[in-house]
Amino acid sequence: MKLQALISQYIGYKKSLGIKFNYGATHLKAFCRFIGNDAIISKISSKKITNFLYGEKQITLSFFRKHSALKGFYAYCISRDYTRHCPLPTILPKKPASFIPYIYSHDELKRFFAATMVYQETQGNNITPYTAYVFFILLYVTGLRLDEAVSLTMENVDLAQSILTIKHTKFYKTRLVPFNKDLLKLLNKYNKHRKDNKYSQERHAPFFISKKGGFLVANTIRDAFARICKKAGIKRTCRRPRIHDFRHTFAVHRIISWYQANASVQNLLPLLSVYMGHIRLSSTSIYLTMTPELLYAANKRFEQYTKGDIL
């Protein structure tokens, strides 16, 4: 069987198991283009695979993602006698340090949201400042992923019950995300804005609308985000700020608020995990970056405990 057909078969197999496999599929399709669609897997040399893996000038996490995708693919092929050996390198380079997310301070968030309402629209940009303002506040307040927020339809936003229904998530799960009165007030106002401008109220219509009335596009939002950060003076020392850091900031700020309220953080963490759409608690721990503010809150709690203020 030719490589292209075999990779398509493997991707279909992974998805039949309920795995999205988007990144793995992307890397395998790139591998197919690099090697050639008509290649025979048993004749692909280790040298060609090494050239594919080391295609970048420096070792990044992409190397290990490609290696992982190919390792699973070759295991599948060997189990079905398409090839007898795996030519992947067994000695791997040192894995680069894990990416450290950025936790926005409350001052930076205030500057960001203030800049959002007055950011300069560019020709071809398909999102208004007001839509961007409401959209980014929703990301911070709920910790939604970017693709989850852009996919929201009118039927997914229950303003009567203050609940978002998140479908087609990262793990093919549907979850309910309740939100507070402040966000409800903002979403009600935005919904009125939609009605006043005669945008579709059909249940499958997008809740967050582009200038043309369609769904927002992720790249459009990223472009607006970058310009707003520049206007607000928000920047990192080594990398550009990321939209996904709103999700990290949401988790850290939630933990801090629980510490400050003397709540049982240990008992509440599983609830946070479910709220964020994780299937394992360990997935949530990635978002709990230790910041000075979080460290202070934790130390304050420990001090109260040693003094007997907390039973």
pLDDT digit string, tens, across residues 66-118: 999 999 999 999 999 999 999 999 888 887 766 678 889 999 999 999 999 88
pLDDT for res 39:
94
Q: Has residue 311 got a pLDDT over 80? A: no
Of 71, 44, 216, residue with least CA distance to 130? 216
Burial 57-90 (b: 16+ CB within 10 A, else e): eeeeeebeebbebbeebbebbeeeebbeebbbee
Lowest-confidence pick of 68-72, 75-79, 190-194, 280-284: 280-284
pLDDT for res 297:
57
Q: Has residue 267 got a pLDDT over 90? A: no
- 285-294 pLDDT, tens per residue? 666 665 556 5
SS3 of the chain: CEHHHHHHHHHHHHHHCCCCCHHHHHHHHHHHHHHCCCCEHHHCCHHHHHHHHCCCCCCCHHHHHHHHHHHHHHHHHHHCCCCCCCCCCCCCCCCCCCCCCCCCCHHHHHHHHHHHCCCCCCCCCCCCHHHHHHHHHHHHHHCCCHHHHHCCEHHHEECCCCEEEECCCCCCCCEEEECCHHHHHHHHHHHHHHHHCCCCCCCCCECCECCCCCECCHHHHHHHHHHHHHHHCCCCCCCCCCCCHHHHHHHHHHHHHHHHCCCCHHHHHHHHHHHCCCCCHHHHHCCCCCCHHHHHHHHHHHHHHHCCCCC
- 118-166 pLDDT, tens per residue? 876 655 678 899 999 999 999 999 999 999 999 999 999 999 999 999 9
Q: What percent of the chain has pLDDT over 90?
A: 55
What's the chain's average pLDDT? 86
CA–CA gap between residue 234 and residue 303 (Å, rounded)? 34
Q: Has residue 12 got a pLDDT over 80? A: yes
Q: Has residue 232 got a pLDDT over 50? A: yes
pLDDT for res 153:
96
Lowest-confidence pick of 23-32, 135-144, 292-301: 292-301
Q: Has residue 35 got a pLDDT over 90? A: yes
pLDDT for res 283:
62
Of 49, 50, 26, residue with least CA distance to 39? 49
Q: Which pLDDT band holds residue 22 (cuts at 50, 70, 90)?
A: confident
pLDDT for res 306:
43
pLDDT for res 305:
44
Q: Which pLDDT band holds residue 260 (cuts at 50, 70, 90)?
A: confident
Q: Average pLDDT of 218-225? A: 91
pLDDT for res 263:
81
CA–CA gap between residue 42 and residue 55 (Å, rounded)? 22
Of 180, 182, 177, residue with least CA distance to 164? 177
CA–CA gap between residue 258 and residue 262 (Å, rounded)? 6
Q: Average pLDDT of 43-62? A: 85
Of 209, 199, 206, residue with least CA distance to 153? 206
CATH 1.10.443.10 fits 106-232, yes or no: yes
Q: Has residue 54 got a pLDDT over 50? A: yes
